[in-house]
A and B are shown apart, each in its own frame.
Chain A
Amino acid sequence: MTAPTGWIPVALSSEIEAGASAGAVVDGREVVVWRDTSGVAHAWEDRCPHRGMRMSFGFVRGDHIACLYHGWQYDTAGQCRYIPAHPDLDVPQTIKVPTYATKEANGIIWSTLSDAVADEATPGETAEVTPLRSLYVDCPAAFIRETLESASMPGFTEPEGETIFAAVADSVWTLTTGEDRLYIGVQPVNPSQTALHVVIAGPQATYAGAGQAHFSTWLETLRRSLEDGAPEEATSAPMTTAEVA
């Protein structure tokens, strides 16, 4: 599997509230996704330079995120600003967490996992979205894609109808039945696990409540059948470097 490039989805926007942080893993790389209290989302390397603690275990205070271990605080540029054990210290510029280019589009938080902004736009921009959910599946992305290519998803506005799968990009798939369309951001976690960040491409007036429950239930069923049918190697632990060699 090649490492994804361009904009990678790391969370649903609605899942990261202001002042909250969460961990995400993209191809084995640990990322902290957090939102400052002014509402701006950030994605960084999930590692405090002090003792290597995951920043996603920490907590957000205003526009700073603080490490759980010793409370070192970093500003939105990843620069350490405050060390509680040395309150009067002017913190050296070298104490910095690598930050990644981050943006929000289609109800999803995206990152390039580098400081470079991707050239291309987020694939398949859609006007109105209704958040659905993130679905974590113990299957490789390729196997999920294969299954979705022939999946039949009952519609909400019209139950009957053919389901059409489209891969807008490596990291974006859509599933359409009649008027209803799911927009799926694909985050490969490791060779055997994938996160799907799913929104409904349509107005909340139509889908909020019953429509969301309809597709969420279908996704739960999908996860069950994917994991039951996953190829043998897909359900085992990720391969180590030694096994690959």
Chain B
Amino acid sequence: MSAIMLYDYELDEHCYRVRLLLTMLGLEWEPHAIDMVPGEEEKQPHMLALNPLGRLPVLKDGDLVLHGTEALLTYIAKTYDGAKTWLPDDNADFGRVMMWLNFSCSVLGAASQARLQSLFGTTGVDAPLKEASRNAFRIMDDHMTKRGYENGLWFVGDHVTLADLALFPAFALSRDYGVDHDEFPALRRWIRRFRNLEKFTTMPGIPDYH
């Protein structure tokens, strides 16, 4: 019956991850704009009924309601990506993708907090958050540097996966909170590659080269 519904905020990088996957898979969905800033609508009773954590994004697919970005991404991939591109079937590669998804929702949380402080806060970005983001990018850059030695173009395996998609926004948006790309040459080449994927779509803060 109904289409997929995404409770969405345009400037939120987690919502962007989900929009990106839906777009890349060529799926139809119904966006439901939530006034996260300044309204905090995601913490209002009608939204808490969908996600008691009071966070976005929230996905509704038929009767199923899901929250938590990684849950959304893996559910969408498992359900709608018949080719199993984004969530590989191979056990080892599946494990690796899940490892980077975990990295994205744990360690990279610092990057997402730093960005929110920078965009919506009044006192600037906390130095430890900036430092933690930089350390996370170093780990990613070291990984992609080594992948380069074995001619690997993506975080896992021989094609793009959810690992790349989940890690992409934090780095692509890092200038929003004052972390430059100078120090991360392997990540610079990787995001260029990612941007050139068919059906790639941007969000505010990720320039659409014209």
Q: Which A residues contact B (CB, under 8 angstroms)?
A: 11-12, 15, 17, 20, 22-25, 56-57, 59, 68, 71, 133-134, 136, 195, 208-210, 212-213, 216, 220
- Select from chain B the residue with minimum beta-carbon distance to A237: B127
Interchain CB contact under 8 A, B185 and A216 = no
Interchain CB contact under 8 A, B149 and A20 = no
Would you give the 0/1 interface string for B166-204, flagging 1 where the beta carbon is closer than 8 Å to chain A?
000000000100001111011011001000000000000
Q: Write 19 A-B pairs (CB below 8 A) sorted by A numbering.
A: A11-B185, A15-B185, A15-B186, A20-B188, A20-B189, A22-B188, A23-B181, A24-B182, A25-B182, A59-B209, A68-B207, A134-B185, A136-B182, A195-B183, A213-B146, A213-B149, A213-B150, A216-B142, A216-B149
CA distance A44 to B81 in the complex (A): 45
What is the predominant secondary structure among interface residues of chain B facing chain A?
helix
CA distance A15 to B144 in the complex (A): 12
CA distance A17 to B186 in the complex (A): 11
Q: Which B residues contact A (CB, under 8 angstroms)?
A: 142, 145-146, 149-150, 175, 180-183, 185-186, 188-189, 192, 207, 209-210
Interchain CB contact under 8 A, A136 and B149 = no
Q: 10 additional contacts, CB 8 Å, given A22-B188, A213-B149?
A: A15-B186, A20-B188, A23-B181, A25-B182, A56-B182, A57-B175, A136-B183, A195-B183, A213-B150, A216-B149
Interchain CB contact under 8 A, A23 and B180 = yes
CA distance A20 to B191 in the complex (A): 11
What is the predominant secondary structure among interface residues of chain A facing chain B?
mixed
Please give, as numbers and ranges, the residues of chain A lying within 8 Å of B188 by CB-CB distance: 15, 20, 22
